[in-house]
Amino acid sequence: MLPTWHPKADPSWFALPLLVRPEAPFMRHELTRFLEINRVQTRLIFAGNILRQPAYADIEHRAVGDLSVSDQIMRGGFFVGVYPAVSYTHLDVYKRQPPAWAPRCREAPPTAKRSCAWR
């Protein structure tokens, strides 16, 4: 899942946030491992649902809703660095089809394979 921003915004990206959806036929760690092996650094999102972090277990707080989106970000979100030294070689790694690296994509039914293709 790729980020969106307000039409009047002019973001200056330090990293590209990505999210592996729960229904994807691969897991976040499979994707980040592939990228890291190919010399593309990744970073997990710090908190997602910060209330699930041990340091916040016993604090008094107010939550609006069930925080399911925060949980999804915590389980599937990560960053890929964006900086001037990103080369076309890096971009080629980004564009590779995941079936080349994720066994679950090769074995997935045709309806799930759409989740394996970069968009």
For residues 49 and 45, give the distance between their C-alpha atoms in angstroms, rounded to a whole number: 10
For residues 82 and 85, give the distance between their C-alpha atoms in angstroms, rounded to a whole number: 8
When the pLDDT of each residue in the chain is averaged and rounded to a whole number, the result is 77
Of the two residues 62 and 94, the one the predictor is more confident about is: 62
> Does residue 102 sit within a domain?
yes
Residue 112 banded pLDDT, cuts 50, 70, 90: low
> Does residue 45 sit within a domain?
yes
pLDDT of residue 76: 92
Q: What is the pLDDT of residues 37-65, one digit of tens each?
A: 877 789 998 777 888 888 888 889 888 89
Residue from 22, 11, 38, 16 nearest 83 by CA: 16
What's the whole-model pTM score? 0.66
Query: Which residue segment(s) compose the domain that 74 sits in?
Result: 15-116
CATH number at residue 46: 3.90.1150.10
Q: How many domains does the chain have?
A: 1
